Amino acid sequence: MIDLAIRILIYGAVVSGIWALVASGFTLIFGVARILNFAHGTFFVLAAYLGIVMVSSGVNPYLATLLSIVLVGFFAVAIYALLLSRIREHEVMVIIATLALALLVEQVLLLIFGEHGISYPSLITGVLRLGGTPITLKRIAAFVIAIIVIVLLELFINRTRLGKMISAASQNFEGAMLVGLDVEKLFRVTMFISAVLAGIGGILYTQIFAATPIAAVKSLIFAFAIVILGGLGSVRGSIIAAFIVGYILTITINLFGARWSEFVALLFIIGILIVKPTGLFGVEE
């Protein structure tokens, strides 16, 4: 019993930390550029697959990890420059194009790698015993890294000039343009950060769990649950919401099995929409 409690406590923290990264990236680009990026999960999956390919072809694992995260960031900037910047005003087309992109990448990955789950090579090995419950060090490391990245993100948005500009653009787009901010550049930077967050999430996730190309689309369920609870566009909201959703999912998986997690996420979303549709920190539109 205590064993299960400890497991839920630790696993929940790890899962929550990873989802906080993914969801805050999704909500960041929505808040700043009003882009509902259905291809966000693609960055999550792509970073993991890129890293795995590089490591298996002999690149140093740490270098490969760093490279794949940065590459995914540039991939996102390219997607923005080539596709999204042209259709940003057509909200319907943004959704359709990004969803099509997510499925496109998913199909290509399926054709290359097949539908078997793959895991990222372990960057950290070792096991810690917590009152008899063995916990791998990479889980603890994943949690610590996720927290560090979240803190850095908060510092970046609130303390740096660029971060403040991004924050300004998300609060008032026209106002930001009026005072002379280059919003297009801000959007590209935000897209980069958003994808990097998803990419780090993807690599941390595949360190612990196996991932398949299908996660490109499937991960959206949990990301949506988090951003709806946290309030669309609120980074802080989605970080807090990630821990609530993360623990609910961990409890569900440990008590009932992983196959119920999608149902629980949907019921949870519908529950929020009935009770408090603006979420914890959302602003009424």
Residues that bind other proteins (CB under 8 A): 36, 38, 82-83, 86-87, 90-93, 95-97, 99-101, 103-104, 107-108, 111-112, 217-218, 220-221, 224, 228, 232, 259-260, 262-263, 265-266, 269-270, 273-274, 277, 285
Residue closer to other proteins by CB (options 107, 172) is: 107
Q: DSSP strand E in the chain: where?
A: 127-130, 133-136
Nearest approach, Cβ of residue 220 and other proteins (Å): 7
Residue closer to other proteins by CB (options 205, 224) is: 224
Nearest approach, Cβ of residue 254 and other proteins (Å): 17
Residue closer to other proteins by CB (options 143, 222) is: 222
How do beta strands 133-136 and 127-130 pair?
antiparallel
Residue closer to other proteins by CB (options 14, 241) is: 241
Nearest approach, Cβ of residue 161 and other proteins (Å): 30
Residue with tokens 């959007």: 187
d(CA 25, CA 252): 25
Nearest approach, Cβ of residue 53 and other proteins (Å): 13
Query: One-letter amino acid identity for 206?
Result: T
Residue closer to other proteins by CB (options 87, 244) is: 87
Closest CA to 54 of 117, 107, 120: 120
d(CA 120, CA 62): 12
Nearest approach, Cβ of residue 269 and other proteins (Å): 6
Torsion 105-109-110-116 (CA) sign: negative
